[in-house]
């Protein structure tokens, strides 16, 4: 598991719920190249990895929040996000912010629910 950038846990379990802390498009400690689209794909891949470690997958995600350093890049983020999630569409909010950790273009947090049985 990638070490968090601050004093928090990447995933917190609460009953059947998983709260996944915001993930940037980093791999091996560095942001991936290719702009907001590449960072979005990697952020979703990082979410998927964390979910997998807790017995869940992207299909269990019910809500995401996407934070963007430049909301003008929304279309590129949105296209990459849709590709990364495939046909599945969780609820989502997208928020423009002044800055993100590591100088990232995008950060994505998620709530997932593990179904029993």
Spell out the domain ranges in the chain: 11-113
Residue keyed to tokens 């629910």: 113
Residues 40-73 pLDDT 10s: 999 999 999 999 999 999 999 999 999 999 999 9
Residues 82-117 pLDDT 10s: 999 999 999 999 999 999 999 999 999 999 998 765
Query: Reduced to 3 states, what is the DSSP secondary structure of residue 61?
Result: strand
CATH tag, 11-113: 3.30.1330.40
Q: Among 49, 33, 29, which residue's Cα sits nearest to residue 112? A: 49
Residues 1-44 pLDDT 10s: 456 566 778 999 999 999 999 999 999 999 999 999 999 999 99
Given this model, what pLDDT does residue 1 score? 44
d(CA 109, CA 44): 9
Q: Among 90, 88, 72, which residue's Cα sits nearest to residue 36? A: 72
């Amino acid at each position: 598991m990638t070490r968090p950038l601050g004093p928090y846990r990447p995933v917190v379990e609460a009953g059947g719920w998983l709260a996944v802390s915001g993930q940037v498009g980093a791999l091996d400690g560095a942001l991936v190249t290719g702009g907001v689209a590449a960072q979005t794909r990697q952020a979703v891949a990082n979410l998927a990895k964390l979910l997998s470690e807790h017995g869940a997958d992207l299909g269990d995600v019910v809500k995401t929040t996407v934070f963007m350093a430049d909301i003008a890049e929304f279309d590129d983020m949105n296209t990459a996000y849709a590709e990364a999630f495939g046909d599945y569409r969780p609820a989502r909010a997208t928020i423009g912010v002044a800055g993100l950790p590591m100088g990232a273009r995008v950060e994505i947090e998620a709530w997932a629910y593990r179904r029993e049985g």
